[in-house]
Amino acid sequence: MPDATTTLGGIGHSVKRKEDPRFLRGLGKYIDDVKLPGMLFMDIVRSPHAHARILSIDSSEALKVPGVVAVVTGKELEAAGLHWMPTLMSDTQMVLPTDRVCYQSQEVACVLAEDRYAAADGAAAVQVEYEALPPILDPIKALEPDAPLVRPDKDKKSNHIWHWEVGDREATQRAFDASDVVVAQDIYIPRIHVASIETCGCVASMDRVSGKLTVWMTTQAPHAIRTVFSLVSKIPEHKIRVISPDIGGGFGGKVPVYPGYVCAVVAALVTGRPVKWIEDRSENLQADSFARDYHIHAELAADNNGKMQGLRIKTIADHGYADAAANPSKFPAGLFSICTGSYDMPNAHVEVDGVYTNKPPGGIAYRCSFRVTEAVHTIERMVDSLALKLNMDPAELRSKNFIHPEQFPYRSALGWEYDSGNYQAALDKAKAMIGYDDLRREQVEKRARGELMGIGISTFTEIVGAGPSHTFDILGIKMFDSAEIRVHPTGSAIVRIGVQTQGQGHETTFAQIVAEELGLPVDNIEVEHGDTDTAPYGLGTYASRSTPTAGAATAMAARKIREKAMHLAAHLLEVSVDDLEWKDYQFQVRGAPERFKTMADLAFAAYTNHPQGMEAGLEAVCYYDPPNLTFPFGAYIAVVDIDRGTGEVKVRRFVAVDDCGTVINPMIVEGQVHGGLTMGLAPALYEQIWYDEAGNIHGGTLMDYLVPTAMETPRWETDRTVTPSPHHPLGAKGVGESATVGAPPAIVNAVVDALSHLEVTHLDIPITPPRLWRLLQEKGVAL
């Protein structure tokens, strides 16, 4: 028989996801399911060139296509001052160009038609005359003094966007001078794409009677988008409603505002008819924001015993033709400065330079809160390089340098205050699960037989939960988050949150938080989000911030309700509030537990029997500004075998021990980790977007952008340790992106480990079979 807490479904229960019945039955409501009377469809004409002057755009043939209603070009938008728009990093980006295109697949014109097919035919009939210009694709060359300008529209006559540095340069230099060993490495982390199942799109509709603009759109941050739309269009904010319906994966790619959204909104305003725009797969892969593209040079100094003394990193960040990342304005390189990792690093200095090139806007946080993936990859690779140089076991070297539990809260050399951690416990667990010592023995035997087997470790620290608002913002809007709870008279409740699920299961986990705090069964609690007319203002979901921010807001709003309910209970039980205690999910009279009131009793009383002088109703709202970020962590160990005949890397085993503090729903957390591990495997072995010399994209279709399928994905072995966050009301830390951050270096370290006896010290990702096979040939071990 289920006990009371199981029925309640509070924190720690693997409650089945409330949203799954609709998803599994194909009853989710995505953008493309929105159909309005009189709706027009929009398609986009895109540039075949990476860099070109536009000589002319001729729409006459397109307008003859049956069903085509209008063609919109940059010239039309220019007349309304809408041909440029701000990016979320306060840079500027073209909505539609008037004279130049800056990357292949850039939007050039929009065609509006009665149906999608007519719009596509119309787009194919628009004739654009270009004069091709040489593209600038290499960010290092783009920094040379005589390099042609990607952005001649800017005052600064250079392709350099910004310089950012943190840490103590001189102290780090002194640490390097005094150290016994230094390892140095160039690391390239290539462009990749979020490749979410659902592409981007929107439906924009202007109600001429009410004067209200409604935009259904694939956005991870509906409120922030509403504010930006209002500021740019001058439409009063209360006359704009942004609705994010079900979203088929976001991963950061649905945070930026793309030109297609703006064109659809403008078209709806001008034509007076609803307008739908849905990207196809190639458009999504070729023109939406990209992640990574970091050219890193890292150096790590240590003494002969392996104690780390200093870390120094210089990075060139390729942002494409516009800096359209979604980083807080104080952190143009995001949270890259978490790069000292889980280690007690006394000195560090980091520099990053942002650069323009003729590629689509890049730099979004792709399942990594603001460049944490790049930071973790760098430090975890450097630790292994150091272990190799010192001929020390990489697990032992890590243990020697971990920040110890008693050092928390720990201030890193680059300024972060880590909230809590127990790195050795996680590594010990992972080693025990995988049988580390046996594997090392097996490796020695296999190596003697000429077989290539490697073991790779990653003991990463994440940083998630943006705010706090004093340091974090999006375009000046401070980062906090919110929840509003209304308990109905019959004891059910509705929870509205300022974050926006894209598959993470918020409708379940946020209900569990309320169930735990109020003692109402999870089945009686409904969670709503993604509608700016109903949800409280929030900054949206990305970078695993939902649980640390809106999760905390939900707990705090529930606690406000519990406080009021306590006064109601005192009134009904005719005792003082001091005589009451909250126990077993009800208010009991101390020493007389048979006298109690449940939350359902109190909800009814709040509307029917509240005392004189007390407001009716039982509801609360909380805007939660976290005092700090949360610092989840993990210890991952991968075992790989390399096929000497093909260069294929086979991940034989992968153990992931994660720690995200208090776990709200263990099943959902496990699912998040499984998904994240697969998204970590992807860039390590398969995924890359690259450009040839003419600026043509490679990886712009799913034929050549190799998203791993179930066939390539190994069986993940997961477990956890629990080190609660001391400042989060529930002790919870975010988890969504941990595995994406932690997995790639574990796999790369394993491959390098398999080849370390052949003087291989580093491999850039993705480690594809052709690349590896060539290396095996060079080393004389290919079959």
* Residue 412 interacting with ligand CDP (CB under 6 A): no
Beta bridge partners of 243: 216, 531
Q: How far is the CB of 53 from ligand CDP (least distance, A)?
A: 42
* Residue 554 interacting with ligand CDP (CB under 6 A): no
The C-alpha atoms of residue 587 and residue 692 are separated, in whole angstroms, by 68
Site for ligand CDP in 745-774 (CB under 6 A): none
Q: Which of 359, 398, 545, 571 is close enough to bind ligand CDP by CB under 6 A?
A: 545
Q: How far is the CB of 545 from ligand CDP (least distance, A)?
A: 5
Q: How far is the CB of 271 from ligand CDP (least distance, A)?
A: 36
Beta bridge partners of 127: 58
Q: How far is the CB of 526 from ligand CDP (least distance, A)?
A: 15
* Residue 668 interacting with ligand CDP (CB under 6 A): yes
Q: How far is the CB of 504 from ligand CDP (least distance, A)?
A: 4
Q: Which of 9, 661, 699, 724 is close enough to bind ligand CDP by CB under 6 A?
A: 661
Determine the interface stretch with ligand CDP among 168-176, 661-669, 685-693, 755-763 (rule: CB under 6 A).
Answer: 661-669
Token code pair at residue 707: 């998203």
Backbone angles phi, psi at 609, to 5 degrees: -150, 40
Determine the interface stretch with ligand CDP among 235-243, 514-522, 545-553, 696-704 (rule: CB under 6 A).
Answer: 545-553
Marked catalytic residue, from 368, 374, 622, 670: 368
DSSP strands (E only) in 568-629: 580-583, 586-589, 592-597, 619-624
In the bound state with ligand CDP, the residue whose beta carbon lies nearer, of 122 and 551, is 551
Token code pair at residue 756: 């370390």
Q: Are 307 and 181 in contact (CB under 8 A)?
A: no
In the bound state with ligand CDP, the residue whose beta carbon lies nearer, of 335 and 732, is 732
Q: How far is the CB of 538 from ligand CDP (least distance, A)?
A: 11
The C-alpha atoms of residue 319 and residue 354 are separated, in whole angstroms, by 6
In the bound state with ligand CDP, the residue whose beta carbon lies nearer, of 299 and 507, is 507
Half-sphere exposure of 632 (CA within 13 A, CB side): 36
* Residue 721 interacting with ligand CDP (CB under 6 A): no
Query: Following DSSP, what letter does each residue of 33-89 receive, concatenated?
Result: G---TT-EEEEEEE-S-SSEEEEEEE-HHHHHSTTEEEEEEHHHHHHTT-SEEE-TT
Q: Which of 736, 742, 744, 766 is close enough to bind ligand CDP by CB under 6 A?
A: 736
Q: How far is the CB of 243 from ligand CDP (least distance, A)?
A: 19
Token code pair at residue 323: 């800096």
Q: How many CB atoms lie within 10 A of CB 449?
A: 7
The C-alpha atoms of residue 690 and residue 357 are separated, in whole angstroms, by 13
Determine the interface stretch with ligand CDP among 166-174, 339-347, 641-649, 654-662 (rule: CB under 6 A).
Answer: 654-662
Q: Which of 104, 357, 422, 547 is close enough to bind ligand CDP by CB under 6 A?
A: 547
In the bound state with ligand CDP, the residue whose beta carbon lies nearer, of 671 and 708, is 671
The C-alpha atoms of residue 580 and residue 266 are separated, in whole angstroms, by 59
In the bound state with ligand CDP, the residue whose beta carbon lies nearer, of 361 and 731, is 731
Determine the interface stretch with ligand CDP among 192-200, 604-612, 633-641, 668-676 (rule: CB under 6 A).
Answer: 668-676
* Residue 714 interacting with ligand CDP (CB under 6 A): no
- Taking each continuous run of H as one helix and of E as one strand, the counts in the chain are 21, 35
Q: How far is the CB of 197 from ligand CDP (least distance, A)?
A: 16
Q: How far is the CB of 490 from ligand CDP (least distance, A)?
A: 26
* Residue 518 interacting with ligand CDP (CB under 6 A): no
* Residue 544 interacting with ligand CDP (CB under 6 A): yes
Is the Cα dihedral 220, 26, 671, 702 positive or negative?
A: negative
In the bound state with ligand CDP, the residue whose beta carbon lies nearer, of 309 and 672, is 672
DSSP 295: E
If you search the block for the tokens 């009814």, which residue do you land on? Answer: 604
Token code pair at residue 459: 């003991």
Token code pair at residue 679: 């998204």
The C-alpha atoms of residue 739 and residue 676 are separated, in whole angstroms, by 5
Q: Which of 93, 672, 721, 723 is close enough to bind ligand CDP by CB under 6 A?
A: 672
Determine the interface stretch with ligand CDP among 35-43, 438-446, 656-664, 679-687 (rule: CB under 6 A).
Answer: 656-664
In the bound state with ligand CDP, the residue whose beta carbon lies nearer, of 17 and 312, is 17
DSSP 732: B
- 220 is an active site residue: yes
Angle at which helices 599-608 and 552-573 pack, to 10 degrees?
70
Q: Are 528 and 496 in contact (CB under 8 A)?
A: yes
Q: How far is the CB of 731 from ligand CDP (least distance, A)?
A: 8
Marked catalytic residue, from 220, 500, 588, 672: 220
The C-alpha atoms of residue 77 and residue 72 are separated, in whole angstroms, by 8
Coil vs helix vs strand at 20: helix
Determine the interface stretch with ligand CDP among 228-236, 338-346, 387-395, 544-552 (rule: CB under 6 A).
Answer: 544-552
Marked catalytic residue, from 299, 374, 516, 737: 737
In the bound state with ligand CDP, the residue whose beta carbon lies nearer, of 499 and 570, is 499
The C-alpha atoms of residue 557 and residue 554 are separated, in whole angstroms, by 5
* Residue 735 interacting with ligand CDP (CB under 6 A): yes
Residues 6+ apart with CB under 8 A from 456: 384, 637, 638, 639, 640, 745, 746, 747, 748, 749, 750, 751, 752, 753
In the bound state with ligand CDP, the residue whose beta carbon lies nearer, of 664 and 747, is 664
Q: How far is CA 452 from the centre of its chain?
A: 34
Strands 348-355 and 127-132: unpaired
The C-alpha atoms of residue 283 and residue 215 are separated, in whole angstroms, by 21
* Residue 663 interacting with ligand CDP (CB under 6 A): yes
In the bound state with ligand CDP, the residue whose beta carbon lies nearer, of 318 and 516, is 516
Token code pair at residue 581: 């205690």
Q: How far is the CB of 203 from ligand CDP (least distance, A)?
A: 25
If you search the block for the tokens 């150290």, which residue do you land on? Answer: 179
Q: How far is the CB of 462 from ligand CDP (least distance, A)?
A: 10
In the bound state with ligand CDP, the residue whose beta carbon lies nearer, of 41 and 623, is 623
* Residue 306 interacting with ligand CDP (CB under 6 A): no
* Residue 664 interacting with ligand CDP (CB under 6 A): yes
Q: Which of 459, 482, 546, 586 is close enough to bind ligand CDP by CB under 6 A?
A: 546
**Cis peptide leading into residue 627 (ω within 30°):** no
What b/e readout covers 299-317, taking b as 16+ CB neighbours within 10 angstroms? bbbbeeebebbbbbbebbb
Marked catalytic residue, from 100, 226, 292, 367: 367
Q: Are 320 and 286 in contact (CB under 8 A)?
A: no
> Which H or E run includes 212?
strand 212-217
Q: Which of 110, 136, 195, 660 is close enough to bind ligand CDP by CB under 6 A?
A: 660
Beta bridge partners of 52: 101, 132
State how far the alpha carbon of 78 is from the alpha carbons of 57, 289, 744, in Å. 15, 24, 44
- Total number of residues binding ligand CDP (CB under 6 A)? 24
Half-sphere exposure of 564 (CA within 13 A, CB side): 23
Site for ligand CDP in 448-507 (CB under 6 A): 504-506
Q: Which of 139, 734, 745, 766 is close enough to bind ligand CDP by CB under 6 A?
A: 734
How many residues would you count in the chain?
783
- 367 is an active site residue: yes
Q: Which of 106, 401, 665, 678 is close enough to bind ligand CDP by CB under 6 A?
A: 665
Determine the interface stretch with ligand CDP among 50-58, 104-112, 226-234, 537-545 (rule: CB under 6 A).
Answer: 537-545
- 368 is an active site residue: yes
Residue ranges binding ligand CDP (CB under 6 A): 504-506, 509, 541, 544-547, 551, 660-665, 668-669, 672, 732-736
The residues assigned a catalytic role are: 220, 367-368, 737
